[in-house]
A = this chain, B = another copy of it.
């Protein structure tokens, strides 16, 4: 029944090691079927080389396992909360090197250039570390709300900004499907590395001017976008 969904999740998960975004099992991708209110996600702690489409676990948007013999990713509840509240089709969590370093530094990633503006019009937000109450409660569930609350407080749209850093933790990205979410993870890692280098070269580097932000974002995303086929 969930064969296509599992295959989508499997193939997206297998992109993570290819793109250099994970060490061992430190990452996971899920793919949602929004008509059925379920998503397929990587099983917890299983090495990528041992994965297969059949091993993906089906979970509903409240975090209940629907199908599968393995235990789903320990981050499953974070995925569930985001699917429940946001209309997205795929979610990725990694500990990719440069994005995680910015999360550990508790810094938004400044918008320094057009590579960034091709994908976001703002600094990539870093949600603050969670309160002790949230951490000691249902941790992964609360991680989802920490992300949602960060977007509310900053008045950001998840449809426009498809990536976030969770302070002291690591990045999450999403998109219309699992493939787009993986794409966003790789883009975020590249932006994070270039921003790190930019600050190292010029500690006073200035943020991108508004006209250039607008132009590049609209080239790819505006109503008159002219990128791609």
Residue numbers of A with Cβ under 8 A of B are 23-24, 26, 43-46, 70-71, 74, 95, 97-98, 100-107, 112-115, 129-130, 132, 135-136, 139, 168-170, 183, 186-187, 190, 193-202, 205-206, 208-209, 211-212, 215, 219, 226-229
Partner of A194, one of B74, B100, B199: B100
Q: Which residues of B contact A43 (CB under 8 A)?
A: 229
Partner of A23, one of B98, B104, B186, B205: B186
Are A97 and B197 within 8 A (Cβ)? yes
Are A97 and B170 within 8 A (Cβ)? no
Return 5 A-B CB contacts under 8 Å, by A number: A23-B187, A46-B229, A100-B115, A169-B212, A199-B201
Q: Closest B-chain residue to A205, C-beta based?
A: B105
Are B104 and A205 within 8 A (Cβ)? yes
Are A228 and B44 within 8 A (Cβ)? yes
Partner of A201, one of B44, B196, B205: B196
Are B201 and A102 within 8 A (Cβ)? yes
Task: Looking at the assembled complex, report how far the CB atom of A212 sits from the nearest CB atom of chain B, in whole angstroms.
Answer: 6
Are A71 and B187 within 8 A (Cβ)? no
Q: Which residues of B contact A132 (CB under 8 A)?
A: 209, 211
Most buried by B among A71, A115, A190, A209: A115
Are A24 and B135 within 8 A (Cβ)? no
Are A170 and B113 within 8 A (Cβ)? yes
Q: Which residues of B contact A95 (CB under 8 A)?
A: 114-115, 190, 194
CA distance A205 to B14 in the complex (A): 33
Q: Closest B-chain residue to A96, C-beta based?
A: B194
Q: Sort A-B residue pairs by CB-CB distance and give the 10 closest, nearest first.
A: A45-B228, A101-B197, A105-B202, A105-B201, A104-B113, A104-B112, A104-B198, A132-B211, A135-B211, A114-B169
